[in-house]
Amino acid sequence: MRLRTLGCSGGIGSGEQTTAFLLDDDILIDAGTGVGNLRMDEMIKIDHIFLTHAHLDHVVFVPFLVDTVGYVRNKPITIHITEATRDVLQDHLFNWHLWPDFTKIPSQHTPYMRYQILAMGDTIDLQGRKITPLPANHVVPTVGYQLDSGRSSLVFTSDTTTNPEFWAIVNKIQNLKYLIIESAFCNKKRDVAIRSKHYCPSLLMEDLKKFERHAEMYITHLKPGESDITMDEIHKTMPQFNPRKLENNQTFEF
């Protein structure tokens, strides 16, 4: 499996893009503004989108992607999504007011997109590529994902904060190779991180005491203008994990 980082910032500007990953050439993990980096021929190949939650920085390019390529595809794009997130998208995004409902365009029988409901613990097997939702702790219902090739696994936390349930599951992943984990705020904004249910370096370090495996660790969702400060705090606080900043276009083979 090959994961390409299309966007990994907590904001936009100066080349920064919000969260989106391309798995091989046919699966998106989230669909933030990073999807706009894809060419038309790359977008046409996407058959599946796995969403972590309903916040705009993770879903905003789903409507544009479906609208752009739906008419040239011969099957709908499958949106893998929890029931709670599906309800938000139906009520507030694909509601004919903010955007058309592409589960009914061009018809209900031949739509451009369809929903596939995910439940915690379900594993979706797409030609030997196993994708499993993981618990996250955010202000709206959210999941992370384990991507398992059979040889090794990559875990993406999505937006989250202190979360014992997550670490209990991750510690059981025998073939864990990569961990992509967020730290949206610097320590000066710890109170904001707590209220918005994100990590800052001090909160992250407290949770990493529960981490019992070894993995290459990458930090995502850094806020523009604060990323250097946050990464400096992370390096000083947890050097034993050798955490690195996730970069646009970075790829992972596993």
Could you read off the pLDDT of 206-250 as tens digits, one per residue? 999 999 999 999 999 999 999 999 999 999 999 999 999 999 999
Q: Compute the distance between CA of residue 113 and CA of residue 205 in angstroms, rounded to an integer.
A: 40
Contact in structure between 218 and 179 (CB atoms under 8 Å): yes
Instruction: Write the pLDDT tens digit of every residue in 113-138.
Output: 999 999 998 999 999 999 999 999 99
The secondary structure element, H or E, covering residue 7 is: strand 2-7
CATH superfamily of 2-253: Ribonuclease Z/Hydroxyacylglutathione hydrolase-like (3.60.15.10)
Contact present, 23 and 127 (Cβ < 8 Å): no
Q: How far is CA 230 from the centre of its chain?
A: 20
pLDDT digits (tens, 9 = 90+) for 84-113: 999 999 999 999 999 999 999 999 999 999
Dihedral of alpha carbons 21, 18, 89, 99, sign = negative
